[in-house]
Amino acid sequence: MKIAKALTIAGSDSGGGAGIQADLKTFQERGVYGMSVITAVTAQNTLGVKSFHKVPTAILDDQLAAIREDLMPQAVKTGMLVDAEVIQHVAAELKNWSGIQLVIDPVMIAKGGEALLEREALQALQEDLLPLATLITPNIPEAEALVGMRIETAEAVEKAARMLIDLGAGAALIKGGHANTEQATDFFFSPQESIWLSSERFDTPHTHGTGCTFSACITAELAKGKSLVESVRTGKEFIRCAIKETLGIGHGHGPTNHFAYRECEQK
C-alpha cells in the first residue's frame, strides 16, 4: 500500500494547539504520514507566546536534507518561518524538490497579537518563497501585509487574491475569519477558477491554531492526490467542525478540536 506523505516546516507549539503539533495531528486525522522540520521552539499556551528560540540554520538544513534523502513527501506546508534567513534557506532547498505541492501559511501574528515573523522577512517571503507556492493561505491581516493594501470589502478581497497570483503564487485562499461578517467566508482564486466558501461563525474564543489546521488539512489532501479545489473544500469543512466541537481547554484562546471531523462525517 502506497502511503501519502506530507511535511510541515514550522515552529513547535508547546501548548499543542498550533504549529508543528497541530499540523501532525491533522495529517494523522486525514490518513497521511506526517513529518516535520522545526524552525523555532516556542514556549506558549492558550494565554500567549512567552518566548521562542530560532533553530540554528545548520540544523534546519540538516532536517530538510534528511527528509529529501529518504522520505520525500508529495506535499509540503510552511508555517512560522521566523526571519529572512530561514525563508531563504527553505526556499533554496525546496526549489530542488521536483513534483511537490507547496502550501504557504504565512504565519505572521499569533492569536494573542505577538509577532511571529520579523518585518524584514516579508520581502524574502514575497520574492523567494511565494513563487514556489501551489497555494498561499493568508488571513486578511496577513494578506494586507503581503499586498500592501487595506482589505475591507469583497471587491478588495478579490483584488488582493489576484495580486498574490501576480506575485507568483499558483493560487490564493484568503480566509475571512477576521472580517466583520455574519458568516466565516473565504475566497479561493486561481487562474482557472474562483469560489467563495462560507460557513457559520461560532462565538468561541477557542480558535488557536485555526490557520495551521486549515492549511495542514489542505496539504494532506493534496498529498493524497486530490485537486486543489477538493482539498480547499475539505479543509474548510475540517476546520468548521474543529471550531464547532470545541474542546474548551485552557484559560485563553483554546485549541481547535482536531478529531472533530471524524464525528462530523458520521452524522
Residue 108: what pLDDT? 74
pLDDT tens readout for residues 64-89: 999 999 999 999 999 999 899 999 99
Task: Examine the pLDDT at 110 and tell me if it is beyond 80.
Answer: no
Alpha-carbon dihedral 62, 67, 70, 74, rounded to 10 degrees: -160
Q: Are 75 and 132 in contact (CB under 8 A)?
A: no
Mean pLDDT, to the nearest integer, of 117-135? 88
The length of the chain is 267
Reported as a pLDDT band with limits 50, 70 and 90, residue 17 is: very high
Report the pLDDT averaged over residues 85-94. 96
Integer Rg of the chain from CA: 17
Instruction: Please tell me the pTM assigned to this model.
Output: 0.93
* DSSP label of 175: B
Tell me the three cell numbers of residue 40. Answer: 523555532
Active site residues: 175, 207, 209-212
List Cα–Cα distances, 127 to 77, 144, 146, 168, in angstroms: 17, 16, 11, 8
Helix, strand, or coil here: 82? Answer: strand
Contacts of 37 (CB under 8 A, 6+ apart): 7, 8, 9, 10, 60, 63, 64, 67
Residue 175 near residue 211, CB atoms below 8 Å: yes
Tell me the sheet residues that pair with 200: 183
Distance CA 164, CA 168 (A): 7
**Ordered DSSP codes for 121-132:** HHHHIIIIIGGG
- Write out pLDDT tens, residues 150-207: 999 999 999 999 999 999 999 999 998 655 566 778 999 999 999 999 878 787 888 8
Sheet holding 135-136, edge to edge: 48-54, 33-45, 5-13, 75-78, 101-104, 135-136, 172-174, 183-189, 194-200
